[in-house]
Structure formats: C-alpha cells, structure tokens
A = this chain, B = another copy of it.
Amino acid sequence: MKELSSIVKLTDSFKNFSSVGSKTAERMAFNVLSMDDKTVDELIQNIKDVKEKIHPCPICGLLSEGSICPICNDEHRDHSTCIVLSSYKDVYNFEKSNTYRGTYHSLNGDLSSLKGIRPEDLRIKELLERIDKENIKEIIIATNPTIEGETTALYLAKLLEDKNIKVTRLAYGIPMGGNLEYADELTIQKAIEGRTTLK
C-alpha cells in the first residue's frame, strides 16, 4: 500500500469527512479506481458545484443556491412566525415533518463561554432587523436542549422582552414512539414539567 502514494493521499483526503473512518476511506480510494471515467468526472464536478453554488441566504442564514433562499422567497409561507435554529442543518427535519409553514432563522451557533462564542458572533443582529422589517409576531426558539442551546434560548428571551412579540420554546418530553424505559431523567423531568391537560 505505502508504494501507492496517490492511494494513500486520497485515503487521507477521505478521512477528512466526519463520518468516514480509515478502513472506509481506504476502501473508497480503491473504489475510485474501479469507477469509470464519467462517474469520476461527475463526482469531481459535483464537489466543485457544491462549493461554488451554495451560499448562506443573507436573510435567514439557511443554505441556498440562489441569492435568497426559497423559503424566504415564498410568499405563501407565514412570514409572521419564525423558528430560530442553532444550525442551518436543523431546518431539514422541520421541513420533513411538513407541519410548519412559517420561516426560519439560523444563528449559526450557540452561545458558549467555553468555546468563546459571544452574542456578536451569532446572527442575532440579523434576527432583530428581521423582526422589525418582516413584522414577526412569534419567535419559536428551537436551539438544542443542551447547556449552550438553553443559554442561547434564555439570552434571546431576555433580549426580546420589551418587544411586542410572542417568544416560545419547542416542547421537550418523551419522543413519540419512544419507550419510557429508555428515557433519561432530564427528559422525564421536562416531560412532567410540560405535561398537558387531557380532561
């Protein structure tokens, strides 16, 4: 193997992908050898396209191939409700669920004193501008239920206190289809706190 320096180099390149370990990377490098030229050319072109065509939407921070993303551009969506996310990646889960017709705003991170991420590092200024400009009536904070995510949620709630808008947080509890046996203590605690009346 060590004599095939181009295979070694390609293996190293594939190891840069977070979900690829060294065995898979090696197998993938050999895979390239047995692919026909057209497939390899397409792979290279598609890698280039992703890097060149995709940019964050200047309004919401989600990924877009045009100047403004299709969600911000869609007049049929409810622009008075906005889900605030830590990462642009989270949007796909919300869109898959097909229940939400409002807009999104990605903060591109969470507040973290450990990692030195301060409010000015997040897309908070852009959110405040949108609230005025788009006449937003409700902000649904959907940052992750981690220490950083909770800190960010509390910071935003405090910041929006004087504004005349509703600020909500996603409900936390037992996941649907989940088993109580496997739920951790904190999830159970949150599920009890957020209990709803049936009758």
- Segment 1-56 of A: residues with Cβ below 8 Å from B: 1, 3-7, 9-10, 12-14, 16-20, 24, 27-33, 35, 37, 39-40, 42-44, 46-51, 53-54
> Are A7 and B43 interface neighbours, CB within 8 A?
no
Asked if A70 lies at the interface with its beta carbon under 8 angstroms from chain B, I say: yes
Main secondary structure of the interface of A (DSSP, over half): helix
A interface residues, how many (CB within 8 angstroms): 47
For A65, the chain B residues whose CB sits under 8 A away are 3-6
Let me know if A60 is at the binding interface, CB within 8 A: no
A92 at the A/B interface (Cβ < 8 Å)?
Answer: yes
Contacts of A51 in B (CB 8 A): 32-33, 37, 40
Q: Is A118 an interface residue (CB 8 A)?
A: no
Contact A4 B63 (CB under 8 A): yes
Does A89 sit at the interface, judged by CB under 8 A?
yes
In the complex the two chains form, is B54's CB within 8 Å of A42's CB? no
The answer to whether B35 and A16 have CB atoms under 8 Å apart is: yes
Contact: A16 with B39, CB < 8 Å? Answer: yes
In the bound assembly, the distance between CA atoms of A95 and B95 in angstroms comes to 51
Which of B1, B4, B47, B70 lies in contact with A44, CB distance below 8 A? Answer: B47
A48's contact among B35, B44, B70, by CB below 8 Å, is which? B44
Determine the chain B residues whose CB is within 8 A of the CB of A44 once the complex forms: 44, 47-48
Chain A contacts to B: CB under 8 angstroms: 1, 3-7, 9-10, 12-14, 16-20, 24, 27-33, 35, 37, 39-40, 42-44, 46-51, 53-54, 63-65, 69-70, 89, 92, 95
